[in-house]
Amino acid sequence: MRIDAWLFDLGNTLMAIPDDYDEELRLCEILGISDTEIVRSVIYRICDRHRGQSIEEFIERFDRETNPSSSPSVRNALRAAWFNSVEHAELKDGAWRLLDNLRKAGKKLALVSNTPPTSQIILERLKLTERFDAVVFSCDVGYLKPDPRIFKHALDQLGIAPNASVIVGDKIRTDILGGAILGMRSILVEERLRQVVENGQNYVDAIVPRLVDVEQTELYLNSIG
């Protein structure tokens, strides 16, 4: 079956943030936490409890939860970490060209990302919003990838069936698995072109080393649909 819709992950697929400004690393430093998973769990918990919140509401709630003493210096450092992160986000090579070429070819496009509301700034800065027919953030819908419901939410907005769509991402478990469960085809952007197996199964239909190589896979993906 022909591919009519392309769904993309955001972080480390369409864009990247340099380590010096990575929000989870910086937040860990400020809070004296050694494991980014702890910070990530706080972020997702706040997002799940307050779906659709604004950027300012989210940052205020994160400060209250992680800075119980209300230290002004910690509050300012946390706020700076959030905004420095999104202000230093960089597009991957060829991102605009890929998205624009797909739109010119009549494809529907969606962005599906596990992310807090601050990523809205990234979309605006990098001029990504207007390139998508649907943008689905976990902080708005309450589902985290790999939950198939977040992918279905995007597909429903596009009006496209899973078997006529493809998901593009850089991680199997979060970006690929949920879409594969629905019957979507998948492309993993993996610069080392490693063997990709998760739980003893290969959920990946194509692997490319760079985002600019994604478009070349369409004929092959059409042939296996």
Tell me which amino acid residue 63 is.
Answer: D
E strands of the chain, at which residues? 5-8, 15-16, 90-91, 108-113, 134-137, 165-169, 185-189, 206-208
* Same-domain status, 118 and 64: no
**165-169 and 15-16 beta bridge pairing:** unpaired
* β-strand partners of 188: 169, 207
pLDDT tens-digit readout, 34-76: 999 999 999 999 999 999 999 999 999 999 999 999 999 999 9
Examine the fold and report which residue of 87, 103, 124 is the final residue of a domain before the chain moves on: 87
- Number of domains composing the chain: 2
Domain boundary among 55, 87, 119: 87
Full-model pTM:
0.93
Residues 80 and 37 in one domain: yes
Q: How far apart are CA 69 and CA 55, in angstroms?
A: 22
Supply the range of the domain harboring residue 83.
19-87
Indicate if the pLDDT at residue 4 is higher than 90.
Answer: yes
